[in-house]
């Protein structure tokens, strides 16, 4: 900026900087100022206070308004401002952008073997990436999410050495989370509750502890230690571990049950992670058209940043987190399925997908079958008299109907309330298994495609009033019999609306029916949120093998070799 422009800006400020009415409504704004101008964080924060003081006309009011000061990796702040105050601040020459705070959303026993990252290779085999990287030994992965459940067996620190000397982070205590909740595995934990309503805070742990389960699932997928004999009711039995099982974890809780993930908090977490000294940042969150400028400063300091691409597929141009310097991850399937035998009264046998493992849930053998059509309203089920029967229903394909991941939980709840003994849900994708635990202990729930549903409905029409069906417990099938990898239907597609000339997502990774830690147990989840930590783990392994590689070099290595491996797997299957 030249001196004349600076003078005009200063003159404008002298005219406009008047105390604003206390009655003016205010909301949280994020002020981004780019690269910080001073190495001392206290000086950077002081400059933020000075700017706000000039706007408010009062130092006390300025201090009360500020929520977060970004002072380690970049300069900026989040503060409660009126629209007029925000417009005034935007005219300061050192300010890059001013925008309202928005909310982002949160978007493994088999997947690592599927990717050929075997924990125990035979002696005759060449050592793979996992062994070369010493299983991610002492690489520090920052997970920005819903927190962590530190008592999970996946985070046991037995056998770990001292915390790396370069680490500058801290273990922030709070509700049901004390200093001993961190260990030599979870070496850091912070939580960001400023700007969150009391109503939301009261329904969450006011600490890094995870009430939602999402962050714990992600963290264990990245760097969970080896845990033997993990399954979901016997399904998916195997060894649960993260992709970089010896890596260290630093947890940044920015997402809240019922409150999503305020961008102001996400930026504060990125800023703190830069100071703490993480090597990789894993963010399974985002929002359409919203990008985080703080990530550029992380990458400039050698931190690889990996994002989930979001779950708004298969519609084109829905991918988010598409900044060129981050790795954006789509979700794909793995070579594991959970087929369930559906036996009809006419002796026809069909196959769906289910997590139903408890044969005692259904007393007796065959149950009455009823075809209810759409099952997104109570009236459709009531008219069909579904009490004591197994219901076949579908999600309408109309453009204004809700997507299957939203419709299935509604169908499950309505079917249970209507007194049914089971649900066969038909839609265009079977990548919905992580919703089926809603049926646990109540009734079997099965997902089928439209072709299978048509055959069941045809049988029902041919024998109305007498049609019966039996649902058997699910089985685990692994290997070449399962066509994979395939991009999940829910995974957001490119091109990017913001950067159409840049190919996004960068890569696809396992994100369907991933079994990982959730609370004290283990659960299935699907989404690009589950795919993201797979790439974060591979990034950590490459960082261990090549500590001198830049984030761009690591990203290039993953993207240019991942495609080749996927093609090989398709040919092998």
| pLDDT tens-digit readout, 372-428 | 887 766 656 665 678 889 999 887 655 556 666 677 788 888 888 888 888 998 876
Q: Domain segments of the chain: what residues? A: 3-101, 133-335+482-572, 339-475
Architecture per CATH, domain 133-335+482-572, reads as: 3-Layer(aba) Sandwich (3.40)
- The reply to whether 354 belongs to the active site is no
Residues 478/336, Cβ–Cβ less than 8 Å = yes
- The reply to whether 21 belongs to the active site is no
pLDDT of residue 573: 36
Q: What is the mean pLDDT of residues 10-24?
A: 37
DSSP secondary structure string, 465-488? TT-EEEEPPP--EESTTS----B-
pLDDT of residue 400: 56
CATH number of 3-101: 3.30.70.80
Residue 96 or residue 358, greater confidence: 96
How many Cβ atoms sit within 10 Å of the Cβ of residue 119? 15
pLDDT of residue 330: 94
Is 60 exceeded by the pLDDT of residue 51?
A: yes
pLDDT of residue 374: 77
Q: What is the mean pLDDT of residues 303-318?
A: 91
**pLDDT mean across residues, the chain:** 85
pLDDT of residue 362: 56
* Proportion of the chain above pLDDT 90, given as a percent: 55
pLDDT of residue 290: 67
Q: Which of 85-89, 395-399, 565-569 has the lowest mean pLDDT?
A: 565-569
How does residue 4 score in pLDDT terms, banded at 50, 70 and 90?
Answer: very low
What Å distances lie between residue 476 and 182, 356, 389, 425, 473, CA to CA? 35, 11, 26, 20, 10
How does residue 498 score in pLDDT terms, banded at 50, 70 and 90?
Answer: confident
Alpha-carbon gap, residue 201 to 528, rounded angstroms: 26
Q: Which of the residue ranges 5-9, 10-14, 279-283, 493-497 has the most confident prediction, judged by mean pLDDT?
A: 279-283
pLDDT of residue 393: 86
Alpha helices in 17-166 (DSSP H): 41-56, 59-65, 83-90, 111-114, 129-132
* Proportion of the chain above pLDDT 70, given as a percent: 82
- Over residues 112-142, the pLDDT tens digits come to 444 555 554 443 334 477 788 888 899 999 9
Q: What is the mean pLDDT of residues 542-555?
A: 96
Q: Which of 72, 214, 356, 534 is catalytic?
A: 214
Residue 361 or residue 191, greater confidence: 191
pTM to 2 decimal places: 0.85
- The reply to whether 529 belongs to the active site is yes
Does residue 307 sit in helix, strand or coil? strand
Q: Which of 145, 210, 312, 376 is catalytic?
A: 145
Is 70 exceeded by the pLDDT of residue 61?
A: yes
Strands, E assignment, 208-354: 227-232, 235-240, 248-253, 261-262, 280-283, 285-286, 304-308, 327-332, 336-337, 339-344, 349-354
pLDDT of residue 287: 73
Does residue 181 sit in helix, strand or coil? helix
Q: Which of 492, 529, 536, 544 is catalytic?
A: 529
State how far Cα 438 lies from the chain centre.
Answer: 20
Is 60 exceeded by the pLDDT of residue 12?
A: no
Architecture per CATH, domain 339-475, reads as: 3-Layer(bba) Sandwich (3.50)
Is 80 exceeded by the pLDDT of residue 442?
A: no
Q: What is the mean pLDDT of residues 197-209?
A: 95
pLDDT of residue 126: 40
Q: What is the mean pLDDT of residues 256-270?
A: 93
pLDDT of residue 291: 79
Q: What is the mean pLDDT of residues 73-83?
A: 97
Q: What is the mean pLDDT of residues 253-259?
A: 92
pLDDT of residue 304: 98
pLDDT of residue 373: 80
How does residue 540 score in pLDDT terms, banded at 50, 70 and 90?
Answer: very high
Is 90 exceeded by the pLDDT of residue 236?
A: no
pLDDT of residue 333: 84
pLDDT of residue 133: 84
Q: Residue 534: enclosing H or E segment and its boundaries?
A: helix 528-545
Q: Tally helices (H) and strands (E) across the chain.
A: 15, 27
- Over residues 211-220, the pLDDT tens digits come to 999 999 999 9
Pairing state between β 367-374 and 390-394: parallel
**β-bridge mates for residue 522, sequence order:** 517
Strands, E assignment, 117-199: 140-145, 186-191
**β-bridge mates for residue 145, sequence order:** 253
């Amino acid at each position: 900026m030249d001196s004349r422009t600076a003078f005009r800006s200063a003159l404008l400020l002298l005219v406009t900087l008047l105390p604003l009415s206390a009655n003016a409504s205010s909301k949280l704004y994020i002020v981004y100022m780019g690269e910080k101008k001073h190495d001392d964080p206290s000086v950077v924060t002081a400059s933020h206070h000075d700017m706000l003081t000039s706007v408010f006309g009062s130092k006390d009011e300025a201090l009360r308004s500020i929520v977060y000061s970004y002072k380690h990796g970049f300069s900026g702040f989040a503060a409660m401002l009126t629209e007029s105050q925000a417009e005034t601040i935007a005219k300061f020459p050192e300010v890059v952008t001013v925008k309202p705070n928005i909310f982002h959303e949160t978007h493994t026993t088999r997947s690592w073997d599927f990717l050929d990252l075997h924990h125990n290779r035979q002696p005759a085999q060449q050592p793979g990436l996992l062994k070369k990287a010493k299983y991610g030994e002492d690489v520090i992965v920052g997970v920005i999410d819903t927190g962590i459940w530190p008592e999970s067996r996946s985070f046991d620190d037995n056998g770990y050495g001292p915390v790396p000397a370069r680490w500058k982070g801290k273990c922030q205590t709070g509700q049901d989370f004390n200093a001993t909740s961190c260990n030599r595995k979870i070496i850091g934990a912070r939580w960001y509750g400023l700007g969150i309503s009391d109503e939301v805070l009261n329904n969450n742990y006011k600490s890094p502890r995870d009430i939602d389960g999402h962050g714990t699932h992600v963290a264990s997928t990245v760097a969970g230690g080896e845990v033997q004999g993990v399954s979901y009711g016997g399904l998916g039995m195997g060894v649960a571990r993260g992709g970089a099982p010896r890596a260290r974890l630093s947890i940044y809780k920015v997402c809240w049950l019922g409150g999503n993930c305020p961008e102001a908090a996400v930026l504060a977490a990125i800023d703190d992670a830069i100071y703490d000294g993480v090597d990789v940042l894993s963010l399974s969150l985002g929002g359409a058209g919203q990008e985080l400028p703080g990530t550029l400063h992380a990458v400039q300091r050698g931190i690889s940043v990996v994002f989930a691409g979001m779950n708004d597929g298969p519609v084109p141009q829905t991918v988010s987190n598409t900044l060129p310097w981050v790795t954006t991850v789509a979700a794909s399937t793995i070579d594991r399925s959970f087929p369930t035998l559906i036996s009809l009264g006419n002796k026809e046998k069909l196959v769906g997908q289910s997590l139903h493992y408890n044969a005692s849930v259904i007393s007796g053998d065959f149950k009455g079958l009823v075809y209810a059509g759409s099952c997104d309203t109570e009236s459709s089920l009531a008219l069909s008299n579904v009490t004591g029967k197994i219901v076949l229903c579908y999600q309408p394909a109309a453009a204004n109907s809700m997507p299957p991941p939203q419709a299935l939980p509604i169908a499950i709840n309505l079917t249970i309330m209507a007194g049914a003994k089971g649900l066969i849900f038909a839609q265009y994708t079977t990548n919905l298994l992580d919703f089926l635990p809603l049926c646990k202990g109540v009734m079997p729930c099965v997902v089928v495609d439209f072709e299978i549903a048509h055959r069941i409905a045809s049988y029902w029409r041919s024998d109305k009033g007498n049609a019966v069906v039996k649902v058997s417990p699910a089985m685990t099938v692994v290997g070449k019999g399962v066509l994979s990898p395939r991009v999940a239907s829910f995974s957001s597609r490119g091109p990017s609306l913001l950067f159409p000339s840049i190919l996004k997502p960068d890569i696809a990774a396992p994100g369907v029916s991933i079994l990982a830690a959730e609370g004290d147990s283990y659960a299935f989840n699907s989404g690009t949120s589950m795919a993201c930590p797979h790439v974060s783990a591979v990034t950590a392994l490459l960082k261990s093998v090549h500590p001198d590689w830049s984030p761009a070099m690591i990203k290039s290595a993953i993207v240019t070799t991942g495609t080749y491996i996927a093609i090989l797997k398709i040919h092998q299957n």
